[in-house]
């Protein structure tokens, strides 16, 4: 396992409020990691920093074997380097068909002129069908994404992430709005992905995290306060304190 | 050709068929080639309307598809007109000067002809030399190139600055208003080289076509405008029907998502904005030879706002909506403001349509927004849905 992403000593504050405070985080390839923490712990800000949406005040974010800094790259460049992100609120192109959503996400050249002359090849078609089966939307390929249920939109966004074929997947609350059965399917899907990808899952639902059966990083007030297996971190007094209140 | 744009976008064959029928109809009613039921000036109005439709089509690309509410698109339209106008005026004036000097005992030198032409064109603003921006006005080819290049480059530079700084929404709209206002004010000055508020005139006289006559020219220009609109429509439909269209609509609906999929959003916006400015330039270059005159008032901020209103009334994001909106509203506008509509005398008050047209337009805008939020073209949806459930 080689180091894929290394976040070191990162801090960021908004109007004096320290959202992230001297945070360090490392993930290898392949690996699955769950990030938990109470509201306002800085989980989403952490993802914003890695994906280039927010610039940290201090610290380094290094990527890949060569250790390239992500801080000077735009969101789109970071995404092309191989970091995919699923947002907390499902964000899909509601006005477009499921098929078109997946087609836009497919890993292909991203320039405007490539897009103008793009044709759906047999391979593209096969890949879209394959992903549709994986996310359970085979029967909905022709429908507009806007009429899907909340859980289906979540899956479509995960499917777009699959189509993008990133090295690192940042997944923000994937199980929200899903039935138990759907959650189990999602957890299985993420686990399978983690065999060949690095996957970071932010989640509130402990049952879901338990099912992921992976290393857990606990965030609180912008810093890592514990790391290890779920059983291990849940046994630490500080974590219990943070979660249950003092 | 199962993948042809005529199959992929069902509105294309219908649109081309309707446009061809209109062109045939106008030809059969024109004074030069048909019954003469249409006057020369009304044929020109129809041709100009098609140019406005093309500009609205370009506006729909940036606003309806890419979500950029540009309120400065008439600047590009006007610039296209100015670029072709320089050639028209130069060539026409030079021909007149040559004809006059032909009588003189000593044949004039080229320099004398050039000087006399410049004096003729610029004496109205107290100048007698060619301003730098007329450098290529003697070449039709280069002038035609400028028709697309000047709006294109302006859009490219303006767009690059604005999109790179991630200016969006109402702020971008205000910037585009400022751009067209600044350009208009600049051109109003007498010493900027484009004859200030006099503008360029006599553009209906096409050099080399003096013998043809306006009755035939008006139909030719109508055909040219119809051809440009048809080509523009096919091109725009092709652009928005493929993956490029998916991405651009994605930018309109959820810019962040597109960014995080790895697409350079700014580049896409720039491509759409610049292309649409170039289409506007072509539309303007066809419009002003039919109008006969262009002056800086044409690119006042209100003109660009009207363009947005046409697209909104017609229906955004469906190409034909923009065309319908521009055609209906601009023809009604001509009807009410040119004195064709009879004034209504109420005894105590006389409704003069020239004054009441803006009220009528505003009322129409409100009604469409309330009762047909998808625009006039959106009403087709009900018909189509009834046919194939």
Contact A111 B262 (CB under 8 A): no
Contacts with A182 (C-beta within 8 Å, 6 or more apart), sequence order = A151, A155, A175
> By C-alpha distance, which of B268, B56, B74 is closest to B160?
B268
Residue that is written with structure tokens 């392949």 in the block:
A30
Q: What is the pLDDT of residue A1?
A: 65
Size (chain A), residues: 246
Contact B260 A84 (CB under 8 A): yes
Contacts with B329 (C-beta within 8 Å, 6 or more apart), sequence order = B306, B309, B310, B313, B314, B361, B364
Chain B hits for A117, Cβ within 8 Å: 242
The proportion of chain A whose per-residue pLDDT surpasses 70, expressed as a percent, equals: 98
pLDDT category at B1 given cuts 50, 70, 90 is very low
Q: Is A31 helix (H, G, I), strand (E, B) or coil?
A: strand
CA distance A120 to chain B (A): 9
Report helix, strand and coil shares of chain A as percent, to nearest 5.
40, 30, 35
Contact A118 B247 (CB under 8 A): no
Q: Is A96 helix (H, G, I), strand (E, B) or coil?
A: coil
A53, A87, A112 member nearest B244 (Cβ): A112
Query: A interface mutation test: which of B260, B267, B273, B274 has the most A CBs within 10 A?
Result: B260
Q: Which residues of B touch A (CB under 8 A)?
A: 3, 239, 242-244, 246-247, 249-250, 253-254, 256-265, 267-268, 271
Chain B hits for A105, Cβ within 8 Å: 261
> By C-alpha distance, which of B288, B247, B324 is closest to B60?
B324
CA distance A184 to chain B (A): 26
Mean pLDDT (whole number) for B197-220:
90
> By C-alpha distance, which of B309, B302, B300, B359 is closest to B329?
B309
Q: Is the ipTM of this complex over 0.90?
A: yes
The per-residue pLDDT of chain B, averaged, comes to: 92
- Token pair recorded at residue B378: 């959106």
Q: What is the pLDDT of residue A245?
A: 64
> By C-alpha distance, which of B129, B32, B54 is closest to B330?
B54
Q: What is the pLDDT of residue A8?
A: 93
Cβ under 8 Å to B: A residues 48-77:
51, 53, 74-77
Chain B hits for A119, Cβ within 8 Å: 3
CB-CB neighbours of B166 under 10 Å: 11
pLDDT category at B337 given cuts 50, 70, 90 is confident
For A170, name the nearest residue in chain B, comparing CA atoms only.
B260
- Token pair recorded at residue B217: 């020219």
> With an 8 Å Cβ cutoff, is A154 touching chain B?
no
pLDDT tens per residue, range B240-291? 999 999 999 999 999 999 999 999 999 999 999 999 999 999 999 999 999 9
**Torsion angle of alpha carbons B43, B48, B52, B54, nearest 10°?**
80
In contact, A172 and A202? CB cutoff 8 Å: yes
- Token pair recorded at residue A194: 């983690």
> With an 8 Å Cβ cutoff, is A89 touching chain B?
no
Whether the link from the prior residue into B25 is cis, omega within 30° of 0, is: no
Cβ under 8 Å to B: A residues 118-137:
118-119
The proportion of chain B whose per-residue pLDDT surpasses 70, expressed as a percent, equals: 98
Q: What is the pLDDT of residue B385?
A: 67
pLDDT tens per residue, range A36-68? 988 888 899 999 999 999 999 999 999 988 888
Query: B interface mutation test: which of A84, A93, A101, A169 has the most B CBs within 10 A?
Result: A93
Q: Is A11 helix (H, G, I), strand (E, B) or coil?
A: strand
Task: Give the separation between CA B87 and CA B64, rounded to whole angstroms.
Answer: 34
For chains A and B, what is the number of CB pairs under 8 angstroms?
77
CA distance B240 to chain A (A): 9
Task: Give the separation between CA A228 and CA A239, rounded to whole angstroms.
Answer: 12
Task: Give the separation between CA B6 and CA B238, rounded to whole angstroms.
Answer: 9
CA distance B317 to chain A (A): 11
Q: Is A238 helix (H, G, I), strand (E, B) or coil?
A: helix
Task: Give the separation between CA B287 and CA B49, rounded to whole angstroms.
Answer: 8
Residue A215 φ/ψ, nearest 5 degrees? -65, 145
Q: Is A33 helix (H, G, I), strand (E, B) or coil?
A: strand
The yes-or-no verdict on residue B388 having pLDDT over 70 is: no
* Bridge pairing between strands A198-202 and A168-172: parallel
CA distance A222 to chain B (A): 23
B253, B259, B265 member nearest A95 (Cβ): B253
**Helix residue spans in chain A (DSSP H):** 43-50, 75-81, 98-105, 112-116, 122-134, 150-164, 180-193, 206-212, 230-234, 237-244
Chain B hits for A85, Cβ within 8 Å: 260
- Token pair recorded at residue A54: 């927010």
> By C-alpha distance, which of B42, B75, B29 is closest to B278?
B75
Contact B242 A84 (CB under 8 A): no
- Token pair recorded at residue B382: 């009900």
Contact B261 A74 (CB under 8 A): no
pLDDT tens per residue, range B164-180? 999 999 999 999 999 99
Q: What is the pLDDT of residue B387?
A: 55
Annotate A176-218 with three-state secondary structure. Answer: CCCCHHHHHHHHHHHHHHCCCCEEEEECCCHHHHHHHCCEEEE
Chain B hits for A74, Cβ within 8 Å: 259, 264
Contacts with B171 (C-beta within 8 Å, 6 or more apart), sequence order = none
């Amino acid at each position: 396992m080689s180091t894929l992403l290394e976040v070191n000593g990162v801090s960021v504050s908004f109007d004096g409020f320290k959202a992230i405070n001297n945070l360090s985080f490392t993930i290898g390839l392949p690996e699955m990691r769950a990030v938990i923490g109470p509201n306002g712990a800085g989980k989403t800000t952490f993802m914003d920093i890695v994906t280039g949406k927010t610039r940290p005040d201090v610290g380094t974010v290094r990527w890949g074997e060569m250790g390239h800094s992500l801080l000077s790259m735009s969101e789109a460049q970071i995404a092309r380097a191989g970091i995919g992100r699923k947002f907390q609120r499902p964000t899909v192109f509601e006005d477009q068909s499921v098929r078109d959503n997946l087609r836009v996400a497919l890993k292909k050249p991203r320039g405007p002129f490539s897009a103008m002359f793009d044709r759906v090849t047999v391979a593209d078609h096969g890949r879209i069908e394959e992903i549709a089966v994986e996310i359970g939307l085979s029967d909905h390929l022709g429908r507009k994404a806007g009429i899907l249920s909340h859980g289906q939109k979540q899956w479509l966004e995960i499917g777009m992430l699959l189509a993008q074929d990133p090295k690192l997947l940042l997944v923000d609350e994937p199980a929200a709005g899903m039935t138990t059965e759907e959650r189990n399917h999602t957890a299985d899907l993420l686990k399978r992905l983690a065999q060949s990808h690095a996957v970071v899952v932010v989640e509130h639902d402990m049952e879901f995290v338990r099912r992921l059966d992976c290393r857990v990083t606990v965030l609180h007030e912008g810093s890592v306060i514990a790391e290890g297996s779920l059983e291990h971190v849940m046994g630490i007094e500080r974590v219990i304190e943070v979660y249950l209140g003092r | 050709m199962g993948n042809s744009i005529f199959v992929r976008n069902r509105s294309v064959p219908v649109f081309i068929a309707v446009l061809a029928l209109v062109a045939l109809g106008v030809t059969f009613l024109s004074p030069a080639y048909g019954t003469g039921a249409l006057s020369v000036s009304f044929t020109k109005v129809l041709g100009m309307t098609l140019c406005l439709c093309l500009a609205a089509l370009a506006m729909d690309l940036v606003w309806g598809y890419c979500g950029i509410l540009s309120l400065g698109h008439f600047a590009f339209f006007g610039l296209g007109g100015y670029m072709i106008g320089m050639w028209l005026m130069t060539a026409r004036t030079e021909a007149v000067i040559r004809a006059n000097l032909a009588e003189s005992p000593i044949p004039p030198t080229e320099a004398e002809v050039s000087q006399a032409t410049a004096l003729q064109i610029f004496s109205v603003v107290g100048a007698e030399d060619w301003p730098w921006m007329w450098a290529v006005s003697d070449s039709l080819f280069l002038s035609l190139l400028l028709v697309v290049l000047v709006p294109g480059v302006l859009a490219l530079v303006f767009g690059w600055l604005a999109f790179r700084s991630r200016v969006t929404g109402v702020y971008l709209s205000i910037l585009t208003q400022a751009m067209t206002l600044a350009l208009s004010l600049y051109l109003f000055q007498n010493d900027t080289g484009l004859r200030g508020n006099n503008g360029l005139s006599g553009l209906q006289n096409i050099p080399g076509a003096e013998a043809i006559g306006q009755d035939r020219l008006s139909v030719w220009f109508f055909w040219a405008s119809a051809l440009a609109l048809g080509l523009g429509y096919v091109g725009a439909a092709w652009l928005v029907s493929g993956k490029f269209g998916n991405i651009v609509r994605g930018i309109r609906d959820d810019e962040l998502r597109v960014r995080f999929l790895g697409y350079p959003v700014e580049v896409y916006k720039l491509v759409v904005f610049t292309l649409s400015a170039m289409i506007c330039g072509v539309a303007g270059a066809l419009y002003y030879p039919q109008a006969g005159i262009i002056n800086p008032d044409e690119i006042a901020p209100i003109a660009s706002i009207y363009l947005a209103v046409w697209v909104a009334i017609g229906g955004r994001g469906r190409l034909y909506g923009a065309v319908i909106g521009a055609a209906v509203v601009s023809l009604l506008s001509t009807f009410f403001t040119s004195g064709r509509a009879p004034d209504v005398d109420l005894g105590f008050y006389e409704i003069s349509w020239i004054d009441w047209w803006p009220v009528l337009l505003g009322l129409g805008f409100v009604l469409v927004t309330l009762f047909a939020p998808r625009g006039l073209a959106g009403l087709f949806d009900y018909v189509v849905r009834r046919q194939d459930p």
